[in-house]
Structure 1
Amino acid sequence: MSGETTDHRPRSLAGRVALVAGATRGAGRAIARELGRAGAVVYCTGRSTAGSPSDYGRRETIEGTARLIDEAGGSAHALVVDHLETGAVRELVARIEREEGRLDILVNDIGGEAYVEFGIPLWEYDLAAGMRLFDAGFRTHLQTSHAALGLLIRNPGGLVVEVTDGTRAYNAIHYRETAFLDLTKTAVDRLAFAEGHELKPHGGTALSVSPGWLRSEMMLDGFGVTEETWRTAAEANRGRAGAVPPYEFVISETPAMLARGIAALAADPDRARWNTASTSSFELAVHYGLTDVDGTRPDAWSFIEAMETTPAADLDVGDYR
């Protein structure tokens, strides 16, 4: 799918209603903000509030996301919802139905990455911890879609975006380091594939979208860097195995690139062309003529695959940005 437009402003989403599940931080926060900026009414859900943070122990809050949308000229509703609680999810959808009478865009972004334990084989992995990851990263998506799609199909043109980690092509030949993480992320993509088949008769579209190496708040903090220092720190570690941050972090992207692509996709009258597809923030950026906030367009998955066969010293990251 080649580029078709250089207009960085998504077409108006005025009159559309969106639900972004997992909008407290990272990709979900950025997606909610872009959809709101484009005119959609956005229902943002998360578990962290100013007075009651989630077990992630992070400073970001769902109210903070709503504030960013309001400041960008959008309309937001910040709601505390645990998407593993069936009743809470059903009440969320019932509220959207009461207040708006429709749902046009569903973005399932809850990831569960905070629960990953790397380097542990399946037979040694704590089963409860593994299921916690699977539940947070996949069952939340399944449960939210189960509750919301009946409302979404009432109007043709509905869109479901399942945010995952890794494209279908990449994950088909790469093991994602732990069995629970591997199954979680590939299951999310397969859910989008299944949803696309079931939504098609109703004029709906579903697909999975993966960011590249996402430079989220949690990732920056985890590597001990900032938006001002990450590039220098990563470049200094070229050729140093096990260094933090790893050299591959030079290809990272902000959540904005993914968010801009999803907003453009939601506004595309021909979005059905993406039905059942697996795509990436880079592919969406190419197709819609978008960039990251610094004007570059990082192609993380290609760069990471190139590093599997080519020494870092022989690669020019500029060729992938």
Structure 2
Amino acid sequence: MQPQGGQAGGLAGRIALVAGATRGAGRAMAVELGRAGATVYVTGRSTRARRSEVDRPETIEDTAELVTAAGGTGIAVPTDHLEREQVKALVERIDEEQGRLDVLVNDVWGGDHLIEFDTKVWDADLDKGLRMLRLSVETHAVTSHYALPLLIRRPGGLVIEVTDGTAEFNKTYRGNLFYDLAKNAPIRMAYGLAQELKEHGGTAVSVTPGFLRSEQMLEHFGVTEATWRDAIEKSPHFAIAESPVLIGRAVAALAADPDKARWNGSSLSSGELAKVYDVDDADGSRPDCFAYFKDVVFGGKEASAEEYR
């Protein structure tokens, strides 16, 4: 069995950048990369000195400390990934301090407060929609532009574009044009980067969590990680929800895989990777959200969420 969190020590000596590591999936991926031995640079706009427009209490300093506590080395660097000079300076610092970059996780988002579901594009707030696209697409492109020259110095580099939904799942319209574009773009970006990195021995994939029990989602339902099942009565499909630990462990295992190039250009989910790499969520379950939605929610199969855990 693959040890939880990826192969123990499998990333020792490796350098990772998790762009957008303040909370949720980004934080969990940073922590689990650290647990596997990596030095992890964690970036975001929410610090102990200043909150971003998302206005939540989680900070990149907290994330860096969690990475170090897990056994890695966490380094917090406040960065707005829309500001080119900040991203350029970040990569220059990594180069100066480490001389290499092995894993880039493009997880910048912060657009949930901008979504207007079930609103036609002509009725939507255009400023909010365009801001969403900047946060989800432009930030990823800027970061790749500056970081990939460092990553391709050595073969075996990995780029992970984090999104919401697999390529198959996202064939269904996501209920808001800007959100639909924002969550499909990283899938296409990963495919394009896969073509560009291939000749340099690099790999690019898109990865999505399932129904994620992020800090914000738990707060939305008025529950905690310990009491999350209380929200199932309000939202039955929450029964398939997963903690951020699952995608963290899945990504750490992927990064440590010497044969990860077989995934190049793929759209992957935490549930799929968990099966392949034999990793579980924090509670020992292995939820496969997208199989559940395909079979039960959209396919009409008579089955419970527990059968997909």
TM-score (norm 2): 0.96
* CA deviation string 1:53-91 (max 9, x = no partner): 111110101100011112112111101000011111111
Q: Give the deviation of 1:9 after TM superposition.
A: 5.0
Match of 2:117 in 1: 118
Counterparts of 1:48-63 in structure 2, within 5 Å, are 48-63=46-61
C-alpha contact (below 8 Å) 1:20/1:45 kept by paired residues: yes
Stretches of structure 1 that go unaligned for 5 or more consecutive residues are 238-245
> Structure 2: which 5+ residue stretches go unaligned?
none
Q: For each residue in 1:252-285, what CA deviation from the matched residue of structure 2 results, as whole angstroms up to 9, or x when unmatched?
A: 0001100101000100000000100001000100
Question: How far apart in 2 are the matches of 1:9 and 1:119?
Answer: 38
Equivalence for 1:220: 218
What residue identity is the alignment partner of 2:146? A
Distance 2:37 2:266 in 1: 26
Contact 1:119 / 1:178 at 8 angstroms: preserved in 2?
Answer: yes
- Alpha-carbon deviation of 1:309? 4.3
Of 170, 181, 188, 1:190 maps to 188
Quote the Cα distance in structure 1 between the aligned partners of 2:185 and 2:24.
21
Residues 93-119 of structure 1, C-alpha deviations (whole Å, 9 max, x = no match): 111111111111000011223321212
SS in 1 for 2:268: strand
Aligned length: 305
Give the share of equivalent positions with the same residue, in percent.
53
For 1:14, the equivalent position in structure 2 comes to 12
Task: Tell me whether 1:310 sits opposite 2:300 in the alignment.
Answer: yes
Alignment partner of 1:252 is 2:241: yes
Q: Is the 8 A contact 2:253 2:277 kept in 1?
A: yes
Alignment of 1:1-321 (within 5 A): 5-11=1-7, 12-111=10-109, 112-172=111-171, 174-234=172-232, 236-237=233-234, 246-305=235-294, 306-310=296-300, 314-321=302-309
**One-letter amino acid of the structure 2 residue matched with residue 317 of structure 1:** A
1:83 touches 1:144 (CA, 8 Å); kept in 2? yes
Does the CA-based 8 Å contact 2:5-2:32 persist in structure 1? no
Residue by residue over 1:188-213, the C-alpha shift from the partner in whole angstroms, topping out at 9 and shown as x without a partner, is 10000000000000000000001100
Moved more, 106-115 or 124-133: 106-115
Letter in 1 for 2:304: D
Q: Tell me if the contact between 2:60 and 2:77 (Cα under 8 Å) persists in the aligned partners.
A: yes
Return 146-155 or 8-17, whichever deviates more: 8-17
Report SS of the residue matched to 1:76.
strand
**2:126 & 2:284 partners in 1: Cα distance?**
43
Q: Measure, in 2, the Cα distance between the counterparts of 1:19 and 1:158.
A: 12
Mapped to 2, the partners of 1:293 and 1:247 lie a distance apart of 21
Answer yes or no: is the 8 Å Cα contact 1:113–1:137 preserved in 2.
no
Take 2:47 and 2:255, find their aligned partners in 1: how far apart are those partners? 28
* TM-score with structure 1 setting the length: 0.92
